[in-house]
A = this chain, B = another copy of it.
């Protein structure tokens, strides 16, 4: 990396530096390809962005105003303790600030959680087809995944608990409730029973990124005395702040203290902290977004039904729509919609991959979907 005029040149290529044993085994994969990457490959922008699990209804106007006001303060590092945001969150959830950790997005927090518990020899239980970024972290820290198939398009709680009990190397279990990519959910009571059924050596990473969209009774009450359950929440979904990178963990104080030992202390940016506080304070906007999302889910269901497709029930801001064939057919349908300038994604494994995952769009977004779907279906069927 340096040009030294005194250094002899050599025809021999430089050797690779000595990466760790874990890194040497890692494949060159990424959890998700971004919509911008596809736009660059296509040479034109998407007209609707329905595949990235963002909130097209945007952040609160109060957030936008707060960001504009705080922009000039960007030269200051953010508070490494996110003290004020943490206090707001603790108050909102009826826990102590010591039970809350603000992080640079749930992806980063999941990475820290994996780092705390996973080393070579450790197994991690998750559902086959669940969140790829979590799996990326598990591999990244040398762990091994044990996967349990979905059952009736829901994560199989009994199956996950059984794997965790049977295999003494399993130390972490991942559950998203509501689920991504299927949009399905379990009741709070079912989740609590599941957590209680896990052996004491297991930490449950309970990803509740879509919590705000779910019916009452989906998320258990917080019990910050139990060090074995970590609750992950985010400002990226209902609060519309995916682009700012801010999420949080609610957990037993001793567990939070262990995150402090490894986290990037100045990692949460100042504008994210400002924006998250403003977002949390605007309950009207949150209610408005949740309402718009419910309406969009209904409309996606109707658009699907108009073409004899089945939209699965959803407690999130997207809907898994059964395309009516196998994974190859759904993939063709997805690509036909992409060609028509709609950005979408779909589950990666069977039998989930018979579905497209369609985000709760604006009216205009869903008009485009309604217009494109019959053509895309025809194209996918013709190519089959």
Beyond contacts A64-B74, A244-B271: 20 other A-B pairs, Cβ-Cβ < 8 A, are: A1-B226, A1-B230, A2-B226, A2-B229, A4-B195, A4-B196, A14-B200, A14-B226, A17-B117, A20-B118, A29-B261, A36-B79, A54-B75, A55-B75, A59-B74, A75-B241, A75-B242, A77-B242, A107-B266, A245-B266
The smallest C-beta distance from A280 to any residue of chain B, in angstroms, reads 15
A265 contacts the other chain (Cβ, under 8 Å)? yes
> What are 11 residue pairs bridging A and B, where the CB atoms are less than 8 Å apart in the complex?
A1-B195, A1-B229, A2-B220, A17-B171, A20-B118, A26-B261, A32-B266, A34-B266, A75-B241, A105-B266, A108-B267
Interface residues of A in 5-47 (CB under 8 A from B): 5-7, 14-23, 26-32, 34, 36-37, 40
Counting chain A residues whose Cβ lies within 8 A of the other chain, the interface size class is: 35 or more
Interface majority SS (helix, strand, loop, mixed), chain A: loop
B59 touching A75, Cβ below 8 Å: yes
- Copies of this chain in its oligomeric complex: 2
A257 contacts the other chain (Cβ, under 8 Å)? yes
Q: B residues within 8 A CB of A17?
A: 117, 171, 201, 203, 227-228, 255
Contact of A75 among B2, B23, B58, B79 (CB under 8 A): B58
Taken together as a complex, chains A and B put the C-alpha atoms of A138 and B103 apart, in Å, by 21
A291 contacts the other chain (Cβ, under 8 Å)? no
